[in-house]
Structures are given as C-alpha cells and as structure tokens.
Structure 1
C-alpha cells in the first residue's frame, strides 16, 4: 500500500482510548466553544514532559477552573489566583506562570472577545502556513502587561512564562502552540474540535514532539535531526502531498503510535503489529 492509504487507515483507526491518554481530553469535558478554547490553551501550554504527570497536573488545574473555564478567566482576580496556585509546579512552570497565562487569556478575551478572534487579528489568511501568524501571536501576548504578576515591568529572567509562547522566528518548533491550533482549527472529527472557523486547516503546521520527530524520520518525511521549525515545516510539506487541505490530520494517530501504542523506534515484536511498519525504517537513528 502507498503512504496515503496507510496513513488514512491509521487516521480512521483513532480511538477514544488514545484521546483519554492525551491532554486534548480536557477540552472534551466542555461543550461550549468558549470553554473549549480556554481549556485548550491551558492544556496545551502544560503539555510537555511525561504524559502521566501532564494529566495529573492538569487535573489539579481544571479542578480549580471549575465547570466553565471561560467564566473563571472572565472573573479572574490575580491575588486570588496567586493564592489558589501558590503551590503549583509543572516542571519549569510555577503558579506565577500559570497566573500570567490566565491573565493573558483574560486580556485576549477583553480585547477581542475570544482567543480565536485575537488570533485572527494576527493571522495572514493568504500565507502558505501559520509561520507569520504564530510569530505575531506570540509577540502580542508577550507584550501584555505582566507587572501585576511579577512585580516588574519586564518578565523576570527566572520565569518560564515565555516558554508558553515560543516563536517560529527563534527557530522553535512551537510544538504546544501548533498542537493548540490543531485542536481549535481542524474540523470536529471526534478528536479535534473545529472551534475556530477563520483559519484554514491547510495552513497548519504539525506539532513536533519526540514521537513525531522519531516516527516521521523513520517514515522518511524529514532527514533533519533537530526538532525545530524547519523540521516541522518539512514534515508538514510531506504530509501536504497526501492531503493538501488537511495535512496535520495525521498528527494525532502518528503521535499515539508512541504515546499510547508503545513505539520507541527499536525493532521489537510490537513492530509486527504496527500499521505503518511496511513504510517504516524502524530503528533509524
């Protein structure tokens, strides 16, 4: 079989078991689009590191956000937030960073009503992909006033809040932001949500994590070794050959070959049951 047939079959085989093992599952707890986009921002920003720890820490955050993340953000008061999340820690990020994130979300909806509309204010619908849009989006958010959180005009050097909003301009793969955009932009298909209507799915760039980096190298979609923005665009260009209108539809099923199915890139009995084994150079460095 060819690449498109294999990957389309893989896409069709996505399961709720995979979703339950993914930060995106937190968005599915809510029905209203305005809740889902807030939930998605929070869940994607913290989606780095061990998946079990990610899900555990997100449970803590969402317990505090309550039944409507949008309402929580609209009513967010910094002093209360700093008390509420005083002991929060997720790897590099602490309670201050989380409060700055919630303040950023509140600022976006105050300025544009929704995060989606704020992003559209940064978006070039005629560009090949989201490179320039994401660059402007991150820059705009980092330019908000965070002095009430950090006690200084500039975000202090010991804060990892800027880690939430990397930029393609720096060469970053921007994995978590690309993942957030995939969740929001791709049509609702039982996994992704189709919340934002003003961005073409064909402009999305694949989120490159360790699984996508390794699997897509083994599939020959990129020869680059570094998981950077160039790799993300190179993989996306290869996938665009298979589905020009929706290239990142393959991200979730490919990623969960690693996250949920245990693929670690070595030749093992598991490979015999792998749906992409006939296309894969398993164990490629």
Structure 2
C-alpha cells in the first residue's frame, strides 16, 4: 500500500495526465462543449449528465437525439417551445428508463427555472456552514421537481436518501471546477470548487477501494463523504480533480 505522499504523487500525476481536451472526445461532457452560451451549456450539460449511465457511446447518441429535438438550441427551445412540440417529444424513446415524458417534464421545469433565475447556479448555492453539496442538491431537487409527484423524480437522485448522486455531482464538477485545461467549464463564478466531491460509481468506487481511499463497500452518499475526507487532504482547494485520476485508472485497468 502506498503511503500518503506516494499516493498523492501518483494521483496528482494521473489527474494531470487525464485532465486534457482529449478526455472530452469520448465523454458525455462533449455534449455541453458544443455550446458557448451559459444557459445552453447548463441545459445540455444537465441533460447529458442525467442520462449518464451505461455505455458512453450510447449516452452521447441519446444526448444528441435530445439536442436534435431542441433544434440544437436548447435555451431558445426551452424559452419558445409550443405544446405541440412537447406532445411530440412525450411519445419518443430517449435513453433506457429516461423517456420522452421525462424529457418533456424537464423542459417545462427548465423554462420555469429560467423565468426566475438567470442561471442554474442560483439553485446550487452552498451555505457557509456546509461542507459539501448534499444540502444544495436537496434544495435544488425541491425547486426543480416541485411537490407534484412525477415519474421523472427518480432521475434526480437525493443524498438525503443516501444516493451517491453521481450524475448531479458530475454535472456540478463540469459547471463549477475551474482550471486552464479546457475540460471543465467553471462557468459558475460564485460557488467554490472546494465543496465538490467525486462522482462515485462502480468504477471509481472499486479503484478507490483498491487504493485504500475508502473502506465502505456500498457506493452511496456515506461513501462519497468518506472519500471526501481523503481527497480534501490531498488537495483542499481542488478535490474533484482526482475524478480524472480515478476515472483514468478505471478505463486503463492499470491497477487490476
């Protein structure tokens, strides 16, 4: 097992290696990278992140399908769609259990949110006493999903229900994390990246256990917080950069 300094050096090197524009090409992150308008990036990013489970090629294809339905101008579509547009969308299949009905519901919620806010950033503010995004995600859920029950609610997971909330955490990394590499956008100026966590899934979980970063066997919110403790010791200002290291090690299977 590596000691702390060796572990930091190893993970810094891997994070540095994978955090470059080549990373974007085969990743769902390429979807929001097609846009320059902040709101387009937010909508395309949130949709791509929401359907990010399974094969990455399939995810990108499904995200492209959604962009096509929005005339490749997500924000403009959200502002100006007709009921007929939504009806057409509702009947489509999109990606696995995320269907046209879910997509149409998301579009309606986007419209309402942008009526009240200039950016999604307003809904993810972290309070001073908080140490991560768990409460911010819950406040966002409340605001985005409102109180009416809808099948789409299962697509926006909750740390309060002990979900690792991998897809929202990934979306937050894209929007919040700032560096000069051109992978993450860092377009949310008022949220500090020190609150970011690692998007935890089967791969990052397994790699983290192999490296001795976590001991819990489930991939849930408690494990996200366990991993938080270690990555913040490695770099308290930019803990989420280690997502690149863990992801890269998962793809290359270097540790297996």
TM-score by length of 1: 0.82
Whether the 8 Å contact between 2:204 and 2:247 is mirrored in structure 1 is yes
Cα 1:113–1:78 change in 2 (3 A) is: farther
Tell me how far apart the structure 2 counterparts of residues 23 and 34 of structure 1 sit (CA, whole Å): 17
Superposition pairs of residues 124-143 of structure 1, within 5 angstroms: 124-143=127-146
Deviation at 1:47, TM superposition (A): 0.7
Tell me how far apart the structure 1 counterparts of residues 124 and 84 of structure 2 sit (CA, whole Å): 27
1:80 matched to 2:72: no
Correspondent of 1:21 among 19, 22, 26:
26
Name the SS of the counterpart of 1:96 in structure 2: helix
Tell me how far apart the structure 2 counterparts of residues 219 and 78 of structure 1 sit (CA, whole Å): 52
TM-score by length of 2: 0.91
Deviation at 1:207, TM superposition (A): 0.8
Whether the 8 Å contact between 2:67 and 2:73 is mirrored in structure 1 is no
Runs of 4+ displaced beyond 6 Å: none
Deviation at 1:17, TM superposition (A): 3.4
Tell me how far apart the structure 2 counterparts of residues 125 and 70 of structure 1 sit (CA, whole Å): 31
Match of 2:205 in 1: 213
Single out whichever of 204-213 and 250-259 deviates more from structure 2.
Answer: 250-259
Deviation at 1:85, TM superposition (A): 5.0
Superimposed CA distance per residue, residues 180-215 of structure 1 (whole angstroms, 9 cap, x where no aligned partner): 111000004311100111111111121101111111
Correspondent of 1:185 among 176, 184, 193:
176
Superposition pairs of residues 250-261 of structure 1, within 5 angstroms: 250-259=242-251, 261=252
Unaligned runs of 5+ in 1: 145-152, 264-273
- Between the two structures, name the one with larger relative contact order (CA 8 Å, sep ≥ 6): 2
Whether the 8 Å contact between 2:89 and 2:101 is mirrored in structure 1 is no
Name the SS of the counterpart of 1:100 in structure 2: helix
Whether the 8 Å contact between 1:37 and 1:195 is mirrored in structure 2 is no
Single out whichever of 32-41 and 227-236 deviates more from structure 2.
Answer: 32-41
Correspondent of 2:236 among 238, 244, 263:
244
Whether the 8 Å contact between 1:209 and 1:227 is mirrored in structure 2 is yes
Tell me how far apart the structure 1 counterparts of residues 189 and 22 of structure 2 sit (CA, whole Å): 27
Correspondent of 1:7 among 11, 26, 45:
11
**Number of aligned positions between the proteins:** 250
